[in-house]
Structure 1
């Protein structure tokens, strides 16, 4: 019985060794490459060996450069050699942005992608789309740091900040929580308090007191004693998180108010300042009304593709037209934004006399 167990153990170890050999350091068969050629050209390639490939006229590798390399790793080529049409585009590198990525790693001629900037970043020039045209992207998209973002939070005595991971800056309206160190408390705040990023600045942080640091007593200055006749000191932190105004930002604040502004192409409707009342409530909040027109040049038959162009109410611009072979000079179209409607007029030369349509 013991001998059978020993024999079974030996067989198990042997099988594990065979499986290990079969699942590691496997050679690769020659990759199937349409419209291209390999160097060196062999039937099989050892594990970790590299090959170079190039493509026929009118085609290009699905990676940067006219010559590309691929490595055999346990029976699989990485990246997979493939030749695509030279009019197709490789995936663009757009830092601090996300977009729908194609599993193949490249995009056909005429494909349009739309980006979404990471938190704390905004699209430069409000450009969020780019189109693959004859092997190149129509525009370079950039996500830049929001001017209303905050740097690292302030150092507050006897407190510990709570957030995940290191950050160079924090997006507007970021909410961070502090906890008091052992032996210190914030009266009436359950030993916790939240601060906010407002217009590039952190609103006043918590004050943790304990032992000899304590001495203010009462309810933290949020209420008065009957007959005292004194006005307590309080600020906007009494009202908690600032009201959210879609397409708007807090651009300034005082001890008892916040001041709002709308993003570009939006108009503020309502009070510019929102007041924090002593009972912990906010006054009426404004809203941001649409104040722009847009024209998608990628989908307009007259205009040269360059993504979506935005204009404020009453604004007019000249946008380049798709060039006609019969033209001896560049043509432009007058585009107007009138009461929320976009008007695109016929193409004119830049030498044409100025009129309602040129």
Structure 2
């Protein structure tokens, strides 16, 4: 009695039938379940599969001589077959067994209508095969003061089609000229507008120059290009454009001094390539006027922000205070002192000859270069010969000058004669013409 109660308790926990005394519980059964059957002569177990699975092997096993008869069955997934064909698209799946999934895709230019997947269920593939229809974009609303595009072919806008807008005269297109029908069925951009847009140029920034964009009125998207004058740097954009609101955007730039204004004036000096404003790191070179000497640096550099590395130089007047001991001759001009660069000309009295250069220059304070010459007495005989030669040279020069005058006079007479001959010829031609005309007009 106690044994029977124990066996019944084991049966309640699903191990095996209370009547099964000799056989161990069957092996585990995946994707299904089993139940025990009582009979008078044998002990039996029946197997069943879960929904979506099909049993393979004997459905029933019997306990005989402490062993279960036959091989335990297995539950294999059901198959759903072909998930269906989709026109202008394709299906993507790896299995058609129970629990698998197939996804559908459309080719470029088509959009999927319906669910993009099906599941393999116990009763077969779920749902319906979707369809791929051509991508369409909505019709375009008409725009004012312009032309609204229509499809080049067909009755609707398809993927890849481009709508091109244009405006009536005196109106400008604000926005994209071309918009495209995309794969999502939406337009690539919002349609443009046709507007009458004009911008009056703003006040020209101080210390700037206009490179392009001259005019009293500019149209939409026309631009003004600025540049700053020499020595000024730009803050802001060099290009401003006439915007949709009939104003230039962005605001005009500012030209701020980055170099240096002209340094303080240096008297009696000149500047190489003088200008009112110098750029950063630009070199200013000074030179003193004639008669003045430079004190300080002849070159200063603009450091920027109106600062120089050194102060400008100064030019001091230079004198040559020289007591020249020049005997038997003359100095021209004769002064007590000379300025820098001034020339002194030397000449000797009659009977004396100059030895050395006949000119000297004041090159620096109290210095002449070359040194003044001397007047050396000449031998009287040699002097007579020299005077004779000078007289001959003077006569020859006078003769040549007279000859030149005679030649020039002859040329003038020849020109007058040729002119008179030309005028006489002209008079003869006119007289002949008059005579011939008189003969033609007289009665025969």
- TM-score, structure 1 normalization: 0.28
Q: Which has the larger radius of gyration?
A: 2
- TM-score, structure 2 normalization: 0.23
Q: Which has the higher helix share?
A: 2
**Which structure would you say has the larger RCO, counting Cα contacts within 8 Å and 6 or more residues apart?**
1
